[in-house]
Chain A
Amino acid sequence: MSQLSITAKRAGWRFASSLPALFGVLVFTFLLMRVLPGDPAVFFASGPSAGKEEIEMIRKQMGLDKPVPEQLVRYLGDIGSGNLGRSLTTGQPVLADLKSRLPASLELTFSALLIALVTAIPLGVAAALRQGSGIDHLVRFICALGVCVPTFVSGLLLIYAFYYLLGIAPDPTGRVDIFTSQPPLVTGFLMIDFALARDWEGWRAAASQLVLPAFTMALFVVAPLARITRAAMLASLGSDFVRTARSLGLPPRKVIVTYALRNAILPVLTIAGIVFSTMLGANVLVEKVFSWPGVASYALDALLASDYAPVQGFVLLMASIFVIVNLTVDVLYGIADPRVSVE
């Protein structure tokens, strides 16, 4: 009970202390967008008959006719009332866009992270156990390959091999085959919604659609995770308690999994948290290649068009997610190593 309340208190304090940072991000993004060259009103008034009048109309519509400080105050007021503005690129309210697109990004990122962890931890452990051996070199090679091939290259290669040549993968467009009807919207996560609707045909369609992009992204982050696992395992294998456990004659499996790995998992957790947040923003290329309707490709399109509201909304969302992920990692720390949560 006291453990739980300590964790809760810690989480609450952490959250409160990150609020000023969020506010800073908000103001900074706002100012940055206005410093960038390019007038969104001119860009959007690019129809064949758009003249001065149309440009003024759009400028007014976006509130750009007012001085910057006034725009900022209005913007903060809008955020306070939960209004993130309207995107000119899609014509929809930014909040609605983000709401419908975030689950797509999260589903993809979670799956990719899962695949990456499931591959990276055994690889890292194997490399640490046989340091300097062929396995160690092989793992290093895989890691180097994963990092140095950009995601859009590996994505296009996978599409070429599995969709175009072999014809095993479904067409790489979006989250589910276009002819499959969507499940009733509950969570926005298609895998969960299909399961809730007991539509296994659809579930399979969504899962097979997810495989290629998730692998593409996983490939990119296997390297840091495997390297960290290897280093942490090496450190903990060389420590006193492992030596003691071994000398006591405990079975090697128990020594490695219970004693060494449990202690080595903390840094992996930290990196996993960071990797997750970066993936969510950085998977824009994967989203583009696979026409994945996620938040990152949405933000990029908006940025290219100088569409202020969606970019600001996206940065705010990312900052909030970063805060939440850090918080989660903190809590998980406490569970993995109870000493951490003692203040």
Chain B
Amino acid sequence: MTIVKTTWLAAALLASTALPVLAQTRAETLRHVTGAAINTLDPNIPGSTREAFGLSLLTYDRLLSFGKKQLDGKWVFDLDSFKPELAESYTVSPDGLKITFALRKDAKFHDGTPVTAEDVKWSLDRAVTANVLGKGQLLTGSLTSADQFKIVDAHTFEVTLPKPDKLALANLAVVYPVIFNSKLAKSKATAEDPWALAWLKENTAGSGAYIIESFKPGETTILRRNPDWNRGSAEKPASFKRIITQTIPEAATRANLVEKGDADIAIDLQATDAADLEKKGKLKVISTPQYNSITFVSFNNQMPPFDKLEVRKAIAAALPYDDMFKAALFGRGAPLYGATWADGKAPTGATFPIPQPLKTDLADAKKLLTAAGFPDGFSTTFSFNVGQAGTAEPMAALLKESLAKVGIKVEIQKLPDAQMSTLINEKKVPFFTEGIVAWLPSMDYFYRNFYIGPIRWNYASLDDAKITEWAQAARFEPDAAKYAALGKELNTRHFELMPQIPLWQPSQDAVMASSIDGYVYQFHRQIDFRDLSRK
């Protein structure tokens, strides 16, 4: 009896003392809810999810990270400015072929060993040599071989380029070229696995702002702040002591949790929920058009009838743009239609995507179809993947209705994600919708990666000699004016050929407690928690 009593007493005492502690940690803890799962601790592993990319930005440092800029009053990452992370500073030689990094002398890995040029060399060698995702990405910045990386001394590191490449520095700031604790990683490597891929998948060997406290794939990941990390603003460690990322598959539940104040931030709510929460006004809702992404209607340009320019133009003239934008996204995003191009030429060439001079004109569509030899229209299928059903379904229904008016009969095909990827990879889908994202959204990057060659991301299967030539030339064009001129040609040609129809850039709706400050839209469309703080 006494024992029972004392346990109760102890429990009561514990509870009473635990409460204030709990309340305090709650304020220093950030609870993030998401629909997807983190499946690896090393972003380089094939199959990594976007959430895994987000995590690696917190646990690992890179040489540099992107700066930020304002776009219509919202903070977004800036492709052209860099913040030092492990590199204190860098210099580019006048011919643009040599980049020299001066490394911080006070940076330490989580286990206390100092970060040296040797670690940087090992990590970058790994990114371009091992069977990792970094390999494919870094070659877009002319980083392809271990010979390009040189240790000058313990805190000086040199990268040489075969040609001056605008995206070389930017590529060193994306999620793949993370700097590993090479001594630790090497001690876990084996003869079959010299780059410790297996071990790093489940362990971290980084110097980042946060340390993994617990990692349950598909459930929760809990991070603890690294107090020694001083790469934040004003050379301070990150603001939150703990970060909990929790996987909650049901979007409505995520919205409820944020609204009730049980969760602090979510970025992947349904557009309706985000709009609703914004209207209620209790929470902070930051909607940033994803300026590095495009949602489009695409055709396989090699497949009849979409190999005919008039057919593509006819469909572009028959789409109910405004209705689709409202039905799919509740108007949350930036439209890429409805522009006016004075002389039929693109107004700018420095950037892509830009709004296209497209509007719904059924009479024109009918005329174009007749010119193409289909006065009575034709039948086709329109595909989208189940994962995008929320936005693609209403959009497809409106598209079907509108195209029927000009005689094109559309059968809607909803495919499981894996099946859709397979068919797209095999170039077997005639007419569909997809979304693309470019981490490094420069004009030439879009054209090189989405409009050239037999690769999967060339959704339209476009094969146009001029686009190929100009895009490749733009890549290495050092002169800004000449670059913009090439871009103007490309943008104009894109409109003339209409290989696919850019529709809009959807918004990233970040919904957070009103006390959260510092949100910046990032290239990988995840939250960089190092930016955030509580007022």
Q: Is B219 engaged at the interface, CB distance under 8 Å to the other chain? A: yes
| Cα-based distance from A37 to B250 in the complex (angstroms) | 26
Residue in A42, A52, A293, A301 whose beta carbon sits within 8 Å of that of B421 in the complex: A42
Q: Taking CB as reference atom, which chain B residue is nearest A44?
A: B47
Residue in B7, B418, B419 whose beta carbon sits within 8 Å of that of A198 in the complex: B7
Per-position binary interface string of chain B over residues 238-263, scored 1 when its CB falls under 8 Å from any chain A CB and 0 otherwise: 00000010111110110011011011
A38-B419, A200-B11, A291-B253 as given contacts; A174 in contact with B220, CB under 8 Å: yes
Nearest-neighbour CB distance to chain B for A303, whole angstroms, equals 9
* Chain B neighbourhood of A58, CB < 8 A: 46-47
Q: Are B46's CB and A297's CB within 8 A? A: no
Per-position binary interface string of chain A over residues 136-176, scored 1 when its CB falls under 8 Å from any chain B CB and 0 otherwise: 00000000000000000000100110011001000111100
* Chain B neighbourhood of A159, CB < 8 A: 253, 256
* Chain B neighbourhood of A178, CB < 8 A: 31, 220, 244, 246
Q: Is B92 engaged at the interface, CB distance under 8 Å to the other chain? A: no
- B100-146 contacts to A, CB under 8 A, are 131, 133, 135-137, 140
Q: Is A48 engaged at the interface, CB distance under 8 Å to the other chain? A: yes
Residue in A54, A171, A173, A293 whose beta carbon sits within 8 Å of that of B46 in the complex: A54
Q: Is B230 engaged at the interface, CB distance under 8 Å to the other chain? A: no
Q: Are B257's CB and A173's CB within 8 A? A: yes
Q: Is B48 engaged at the interface, CB distance under 8 Å to the other chain? A: yes
Chain A contact residue count (CB 8 A cutoff) = 52
Q: Are B417's CB and A293's CB within 8 A? A: no
Nearest-neighbour CB distance to chain B for A284, whole angstroms, equals 10
* Chain B neighbourhood of A201, CB < 8 A: 11, 14-15
Nearest-neighbour CB distance to chain A for B337, whole angstroms, equals 25
A159-B253, A173-B257 as given contacts; A49 in contact with B140, CB under 8 Å: yes
Nearest-neighbour CB distance to chain A for B32, whole angstroms, equals 11
Q: Are A306's CB and B418's CB within 8 A? A: yes
Q: Are B246's CB and A173's CB within 8 A? A: yes
* Chain B neighbourhood of A91, CB < 8 A: 39-40, 45, 47, 201-202, 217
Chain B contact residue count (CB 8 A cutoff) = 59
- A19-68 contacts to B, CB under 8 A, are 37-40, 42-55, 57-58, 61
Nearest-neighbour CB distance to chain A for B188, whole angstroms, equals 17
Q: Are A43's CB and B417's CB within 8 A? A: yes
Q: Are B417's CB and A304's CB within 8 A? A: yes
Q: Is B438 engaged at the interface, CB distance under 8 Å to the other chain? A: yes
Q: Are B133's CB and A50's CB within 8 A? A: yes
* Chain B neighbourhood of A39, CB < 8 A: 418, 421-422, 425
Q: Taking CB as reference atom, which chain A residue is nearest B454?
A: A52
Q: Are B136's CB and A171's CB within 8 A? A: no
* Chain B neighbourhood of A43, CB < 8 A: 417-418, 421-422
Residue in A50, A52, A163, A291 whose beta carbon sits within 8 Å of that of B248 in the complex: A291
A164-B256, A304-B386 as given contacts; A48 in contact with B438, CB under 8 Å: yes
Q: Are B31's CB and A305's CB within 8 A? A: no
Q: Is B98 engaged at the interface, CB distance under 8 Å to the other chain? A: no
Most buried by B among A39, A51, A53, A291: A291
Q: Taking CB as reference atom, which chain B residue is nearest A155?
A: B250
Known: A38-B417, A42-B418, A304-B418. 13 other contacts (CB 8 A): A38-B420, A47-B133, A54-B136, A57-B46, A156-B252, A159-B253, A163-B260, A171-B256, A173-B246, A173-B257, A291-B246, A304-B386, A306-B416
Can you identify 26 A-B contacts, CB atoms within 8 angstroms?
A38-B422, A39-B421, A42-B422, A43-B422, A44-B46, A44-B47, A45-B46, A47-B48, A51-B136, A54-B46, A57-B131, A58-B46, A61-B46, A88-B47, A163-B256, A171-B257, A171-B262, A172-B253, A172-B256, A179-B25, A201-B11, A201-B15, A291-B248, A291-B250, A297-B249, A305-B418
Interface residues of A (CB under 8 A from B): 37-40, 42-55, 57-58, 61, 88-92, 100, 156, 159-160, 163-164, 167, 171-174, 178-179, 198, 200-201, 288-289, 291, 293, 297-298, 301, 304-306
